[in-house]
């Protein structure tokens, strides 16, 4: 069976992106002096999604 292509960004990735954008403009109720656990989780979600997408579509391979 052929590999399925991702045609739409998952909702949880959209929400993580929104969270990062929000924190670029202001703080949220969960922010503390040491950082924001919500923002850290959103960054992790985006990093995992980007790595998976790069691996799935061969974007992580450097041309030789």
Position 58 scores a pLDDT of 80
Higher pLDDT, 4 or 48: 48
Closest residue by Cα to residue 36 from 17, 20, 15: 20
CA distance 23 to 58: 31
* Sequence spans of domains, the chain: 19-56
pTM higher than 0.85 for the full model?
A: no
Read off the pLDDT of residues 11-57 as tens digits, 9 standing for 90 and up.
999 999 999 999 999 888 888 889 899 999 999 999 999 999 888 88
CA distance 34 to 25: 18
């Amino acid at each position: 069976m052929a590999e399925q292509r991702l045609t739409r960004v998952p909702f949880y990735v959209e929400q993580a992106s929104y969270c990062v954008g929000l924190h670029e403009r202001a703080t949220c109720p969960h922010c503390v002096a040491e950082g924001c656990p919500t923002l850290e989780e959103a960054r992790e979600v985006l990093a995992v999604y980007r790595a998976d997408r790069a691996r799935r579509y061969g974007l992580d391979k450097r041309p030789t």
